[in-house]
Structure 1
Amino acid sequence: MGLLSLAIWTPIFFGAVLLALGRDEHVRAVRWVALIGAIVSLLVTLPLYSGFDNATAAMQFVEKAPWIERFNVHYHLGLDGISFWFVPLTAFITVIVVIAGWEAITSRVNQYMGAFLILSGLMIGVFSALDGLLFYVFFEATLIPMYLIIGIWGGPNKIYAAFKFFLYTLLGSLLLLIALIYLYVHSGGSFDIQTWHDLPLPRTAQTLLFFGFFAAFAVKVPMWPVHTWLPDVHVEAPTGGSAVLAAIMLKLGAYGFLRFSMPIAPDAAHEWAWLMVALSLIAVIYVGLVAMVQQDMKKLVAYSSVAHMGFVTLGFFIFNDLGVSGGLVQMIAHGFVSGAMFLCIGVLYDRVHSREIAAYGGVVNTMPKFAAFALLFAMANCGLPGTAGFVGEWMVILGAVKANFWIGLASATALIFGAAYTLWMFKRVYLGPVANDHVKELEDINAREFLMLALLAIAVLAMGIYPKPFTDVMDVSVAELLKHVAVSKLN
């Protein structure tokens, strides 16, 4: 078993152990097993960084074994510079989520923790899979634990939100499956994704494949106008569910564009780039305006996620190194920042049981330590230089200006909206005099919450001040992808 298999199956194993433990009889033991499992799963991913060679675009840590031999399906794993950082990011966010749910979850604790650990392994599988069918199995399997997390531990309309999440993402994925079967047949019976990258495909086939992939990946990102499931799901999901959804699950769709849409159908990607850029700019500008009028903190941050992910898809489809690398950096940064924003909302919700902005005011007076963390994450969400939120957006804007000045200008002006809705929310929730008795009775964060937020704060600042380790890993792979996409595959 190689390092990638360990990264995938270690959290799944611990998740299965948790499910086997008694429901609520051994809560203390369950929490510690979950934490140990999450930390071990993170430690398993660390040797990947020390063993990764930045100088090559080839797949590394490759594992390949026959799986369904009759159909030439393989258990085939590998990482390159594009997928690398999402493996440790997933494991890191899982540790944070386990710490976040330590006291907040009191019923079916083993199932809650087990679902997150299993979800973590499945998401790492998506980023590691080099076999089309294996990718699809992991991609779809992630829906199951997240559906249960929303449907069991969610808010009052949890069943509606869980069904909406499941149906939106499943319907798009059915077109992805048809595209994968077409590629399997056209390639002479191979599910190898890298083999598909070199297939000479006619223009019509490329266009159909591109939109088949688009149906699955755009919903997952989510791009405008198929983003409407996200605010409902975020509002109803428990805090940990929102954090993982925003930090990792949205990235599965964006990653799919780089692994499937662009290299397999490069001519269609170039032909329809104008549509992708237009939809991305609508997400960045229009959804940013929608975020300004939200009264629910979770909805505001949910719409903010759609706007930030618009920068990602914009960066990918301007086809230059700054844009694509910036999109990838933005995905990682958004994982830290949006996860932190949702966890901050969870800290307040656990105390007041309201997500309405109007229910707060003057929180800084009673929770000064917590307000300091919240300010840092709010500034990162605005894209303040020196925080993780700045690096990716700045790179995408530079790449957009390089491609087309007006696209760059439109994306840059959208940062004003991001600052407006984030700072407006911060002002109304945290600043000013104490607004009511609920706020007056608030207690500052305890040691567990401090640890959770401090880990995220370190990640946000480290990436903002010194992003070189992140960009160095992806540079060669991004350059190779752009070189590949620039060559026509028309036969």
Structure 2
Amino acid sequence: MSPDFPWLTTLIAWPVLGALLLWFAPKALRPRARVLALGIALVELVVAVLAITAFDTADAGSVQLLETHRWIPAIGASYAVGVDGVGIALIAMSVLLVPLVVLAGWREQGSDTTSSDALRKYLALVIVLEAFIVAVFAARDVFLFYVLFEAMLIPVYFMIGGFGGAGRRYAAVKFLLFSLAGGLIMLIGVIALYLQGPGGPDGFLTEKLTGVALDPTTEKWLFVAFFVAFAIKAPMFPVHTWLPDAAEQAPAGTSTLLVGVLDKVGTFGMLTLCLPLFPNASRWAAPTIIVLAVVSILYGALLAIGQKDLMRLIAYTSVSHFGFIVLGIFAFTSTSIAGSSFYMVNHGLSTGALFLLAGFLVARRGSQQIADFGGLAKLVPVLAGLFLVSGLSALSLPGLSTFVSEFMVIVGTFGRHPAAAIVATLGVVLAAIYVLWTYQRIFSGTPRDELAGMRDVTATERWAVAPLIAAMLVLGFVPAPALDLVRPPAHVTLDVIDVEDAPAAAALEGSDQ
């Protein structure tokens, strides 16, 4: 496929048009809202596959599929999009999840046979969110990135507050306040960075702001402004408290996109903005961030073990997993950074599957409390098997994709910070506890009397989860195609922040060639 075609703009514009169609659909089309949404999402997936074929994997460290147009020249803002290997991988993961979320929620927010305004509007929000997701992973202009970073809050706020559980309004407001606080701090940094840069009608382009000489104190403050916003989004300890409430109250599909995709914007921003724009400050802050990352790993895992609510449990596992991702980014080795980039994709697969499967369980039982389940393996064996595989991927079992990325993060980190790597390894042990104990409480033993007659997953639900399970297995046994996308950008990042690769990490990279 031609790399000159505006693939990224097409990937952004198509779901916007689709969302408008859903929101303002004629009465005759409203009963077919699910089919329309699925069709829109599948077309987006096809376009993404075509865009990937136009991407030159051999040059994954460079930004490709570039489009640049002056947007607001008076303030230096441009519509500039482009992706390297990490960006295209995250876009691929995102556009895969959206049709699966539509499938998984086939019976949500209304009946199967009647028109439902609630369902139609919910699906329109899902589809427009997809456009924002693609755009933010492709943005090559700092102002554009900030606008998209904030714009994503709008559909998510309504997806939680309008369609969630009994405490949905509190959870939606808490999510919005935390995110807005981080965004406002980042806005100060964005404006200050522009004033320090070359200026001009395209002064917000990341390529023009990368390498700008900054006063050391100014650079540190700008780094903090960006990092705080990304740490809230990620989410990292101690600014993570919005996530368990949001995951508990949001529909399962919303939690899948929120944790599986949107939270990656935080770690993606650390990797693609914090490090290249503020290399000296990144090196200065790295020791503190590594400590916070290790704390997140252990804290999230320990709290997951103690949870009684299934959705909150999965949310806390993500706090732990994001700790691994941040640890790998700021360990500053090619292996750890590549591992973190791959981890972002794998976490979306495994945690997305867990949230969808948890949603199936909650829909059948009418409760999110783990204590209300028990012995389900005898009643719903396929659902039990799918949950087990997804859980084993979350605890990084060899043969599943998350193992490769987590192993790379720990080995890469060990090459420069052995103490942090050793302590972080405890998170792997704790993950085995919270995954296996949860499975035991829900699926093992004798079925409870009130669970008799519970149906197994439907054909539609199997189609919603099967691609994620397949991706975990394929990337677990054959990770090379994905690693070919994330390794070159890792080396570019080290060059930009002027850090030599750790000997152990470099040796591991060489042995894999």
**TM-score scaled by length of structure 2:** 0.93
Q: Is the 8 A contact 1:14 1:117 kept in 2?
A: yes
Q: Is the 8 A contact 1:165 1:229 kept in 2?
A: yes
CA distance in 1, matches of 2:87, 2:151: 19
Name the counterpart of 1:367: 380
Q: What are the superposed Cα offsets for residues 278-324 of structure 1, whole Å, 9 maximum, x if unpaired? A: 01000111221111110111111100000001000000000001110
Name the counterpart of 1:381: 394
Amino acid at match of 2:465: L
Match of 1:257 among 270, 288, 299: 270
Name the counterpart of 1:111: 121
* Matched residue SS, 1:486: coil
Name the counterpart of 2:231: 218
Q: How far does residue 337 in structure 1 lie from its aligned partner after superposition?
A: 0.4
Q: How far does residue 26 in structure 1 lie from its aligned partner after superposition?
A: 4.7
Name the counterpart of 1:453: 465
Match of 1:99 among 103, 125, 141: 103
Does residue 1:161 correspond to 2:171, yes or no? yes
Structure 1 alignment gaps of length 5 or more: none
CA distance in 2, matches of 1:326, 1:440: 44
> What is the CA RMSD across the aligned residues, in angstroms?
1.3
Match of 1:248 among 242, 246, 261: 261
Greater alpha carbon shift after TM alignment, 248-257 vs 428-437 = 428-437
CA distance in 2, matches of 1:400, 1:188: 36
CA distance in 1, matches of 2:231, 2:299: 17
Name the counterpart of 1:82: 86
Residue correspondence of structure 1 range 54-73 to structure 2 within 5 A: 54-56=57-59, 57-73=61-77
CA distance in 1, matches of 2:419, 2:78: 46
After TM superposition, what 4+ stretches of structure 1 lie above 6 angstroms from structure 2?
none
Q: Is the 8 A contact 1:221 1:254 kept in 2?
A: yes
Amino acid at match of 2:259: A
Structure 2 alignment gaps of length 5 or more: 111-115, 501-513
Amino acid at match of 1:304: T
Amino acid at match of 2:427: A
Match of 1:236 among 249, 260, 264: 249
Name the counterpart of 2:9: 5
Q: What are the superposed Cα offsets for residues 1-51 of structure 1, whole Å, 9 maximum, x if unpaired? A: 70000111111110110000258x755411111000000011111122212
Q: How far does residue 188 in structure 1 lie from its aligned partner after superposition?
A: 2.8
Q: Is the 8 A contact 2:342 2:486 kept in 1?
A: no
Name the counterpart of 2:139: 129
CA distance in 2, matches of 1:48, 1:475: 20
Q: Is the 8 A contact 2:103 2:464 kept in 1?
A: yes
* Matched residue SS, 2:78: strand
Greater alpha carbon shift after TM alignment, 105-114 vs 224-233 = 105-114
Match of 2:407 among 377, 381, 394: 394
Match of 1:288 among 301, 307, 313: 301
Amino acid at match of 1:349: V
CA distance in 2, matches of 1:174, 1:147: 17
CA distance in 1, matches of 2:485, 2:342: 11
CA distance in 2, matches of 1:436, 1:206: 62
Q: How far does residue 400 in structure 1 lie from its aligned partner after superposition?
A: 1.4
Q: Is the 8 A contact 1:104 1:350 kept in 2?
A: no
Percentage of pairs with the same residue: 34
Greater alpha carbon shift after TM alignment, 181-190 vs 326-335 = 181-190
Name the counterpart of 1:140: 150
CA distance in 2, matches of 1:476, 1:422: 33
Name the counterpart of 1:48: 51
Aligned residues: 486
**TM-score scaled by length of structure 1:** 0.97
CA distance in 1, matches of 2:456, 2:30: 25
Does residue 1:31 correspond to 2:34, yes or no? yes
Q: How far does residue 223 in structure 1 lie from its aligned partner after superposition?
A: 0.5
CA distance in 1, matches of 2:457, 2:303: 31
Name the counterpart of 1:186: 196
Q: How far does residue 54 in structure 1 lie from its aligned partner after superposition?
A: 2.6
Q: How far does residue 52 in structure 1 lie from its aligned partner after superposition?
A: 1.5
Does residue 1:200 correspond to 2:213, yes or no? yes
CA distance in 1, matches of 2:449, 2:223: 53
The structure-2 alpha-carbon separation of the partners of 1:351 and 1:26, relative to structure 1 and needing over 3 Å to count, comes to farther
